[in-house]
A = this chain, B = another copy of it.
């Protein structure tokens, strides 16, 4: 039995980790930290967990924490993670970090988009935790940087095209839309029900911090440094991301040929589902699941391909992918605990 700790258990990502771990027979949640709710049962914070999760939240105390679990999920904000993760690594723990702190290999890039990085010596050790691209390295890693929600959808959406060299990378435009759970559970006016419902808007236009993360992986896939346009939007719903991605094709292809390209690229992937030509993904069909559904359309009028990628931002975009990484790091079957059918309607 592998003992698990969640640092930052009371956010939406934390509770989703707790939910998913209930379906993992090989692991046991032993530690859940939450400054805000210390001493309170996690199931009292989230009554959805009642009768299934009986752990009590505790304050983070590093010295005592480490010996009580073998692998830690750190589900805390960036900047906080870089202060905690090194201590866990030093005492030999495995860590899946869900913050942004170890995703960017280049400290200078990180510092340009975020703030000063105080644990740069661990950047080289961290593996970017997208199993579809880095499975073998993840399996051998002590520290996995769990990808951001938007980047997960985007990178999976364009990887086959970039690797095959059939699109012009510098024409990439990413228009992404996310449900409100991506903003977390912080009490703030902007994500109140009445501000979000029956409304839609863009935010952080051309300025969102997930941009360099996408550019890093995209640049690696096409072996050249690429800058992309990225616009995130806030959807009046709870879960789900749909990314609509535009790129100019460098060669003409039929939709069937593109489909074949994707099918080959993802043929052994348990969590990528392809829509057949003419069909497109929808976030409601991945709700609560670890799937990434992909569709596309080549527009011969403009020479552009449009790729559509749908995930549940809390699952494949966060907690589910983290469990997938945990499975790989611990030598467990990769899909363990992650085969729940999407909840529709």
Residue ranges of A at the interface with B (Cβ–Cβ < 8 Å): 12, 15, 19, 22-23, 46-53, 173, 175, 177, 179-181, 185, 187-189, 191-203, 205-207, 227-229, 231, 233, 235-240, 242, 244, 246, 273, 275, 279-289, 291, 293, 297-299, 301-302, 304, 306, 308, 310, 314, 339-345
Nearest CB in chain B: distance from A42 CB, A: 12
Nearest CB in chain B: distance from A126 CB, A: 25
A285 / chain B contacts, CB cutoff of 8 Å: 46-48, 50, 199
B193 touches A192 (CB 8 A): yes
Total identical chains? 4
A233 touches B238 (CB 8 A): no
Question: Nearest residue in B to A284 (C-beta to C-beta)?
Answer: B199
A343 touches B343 (CB 8 A): yes
- Contact status of A236 and B301, CB under 8 A, knowing A283-B201, A343-B343: no
Nearest first, the 3 closest Cβ-Cβ pairs linking A and B are A199-B284, A201-B282, A206-B299
Distance, CA A302 to CA B287, complexed state (A)? 33
9 contacts between A and B (CB under 8 A): A23-B340, A50-B293, A52-B339, A175-B244, A197-B238, A199-B283, A201-B284, A205-B299, A239-B345
Nearest CB in chain B: distance from A70 CB, A: 22
- Contact status of A227 and B301, CB under 8 A, knowing A193-B192, A280-B205, A343-B343: yes
Question: Nearest residue in B to A275 (C-beta to C-beta)?
Answer: B47
The residue from B47, B49, B239 contacting A293, defined by CB atoms under 8 A apart: B47
B306 touches A231 (CB 8 A): yes
Nearest CB in chain B: distance from A179 CB, A: 8
A306 touches B237 (CB 8 A): no
A202 touches B301 (CB 8 A): no
- Contact status of A12 and B187, CB under 8 A, knowing A52-B341, A244-B175, A297-B206: no
Of A46, A244, A273, A291, the most chain B CB neighbours within 10 A belong to A244
Of A227, A282, A288, A298, the most chain B CB neighbours within 10 A belong to A282
B238 touches A306 (CB 8 A): no
B198 touches A238 (CB 8 A): yes
A47 / chain B contacts, CB cutoff of 8 Å: 275, 279, 281-282, 285, 293
Nearest CB in chain B: distance from A178 CB, A: 9
The residue from B194, B227, B273, B302 contacting A229, defined by CB atoms under 8 A apart: B302
A187 / chain B contacts, CB cutoff of 8 Å: 187-189, 192
A302 / chain B contacts, CB cutoff of 8 Å: 206, 227-229
Distance, CA A179 to CA B344, complexed state (A)? 13
Question: Nearest residue in B to A272 (C-beta to C-beta)?
Answer: B51
The residue from B231, B273, B284, B314 contacting A198, defined by CB atoms under 8 A apart: B284
Distance, CA A23 to CA B342, complexed state (A)? 12
A229 touches B197 (CB 8 A): no
Nearest CB in chain B: distance from A302 CB, A: 5
Question: Nearest residue in B to A270 (C-beta to C-beta)?
Answer: B51
A280 / chain B contacts, CB cutoff of 8 Å: 201-203, 205
A194 / chain B contacts, CB cutoff of 8 Å: 12, 179-181, 185, 191, 238, 345
Given A12-B194, A19-B341, 13 further pairs, Cβ under 8 A:
A12-B345, A193-B238, A197-B236, A197-B238, A198-B239, A199-B287, A200-B240, A201-B308, A205-B280, A206-B298, A228-B302, A235-B236, A288-B288
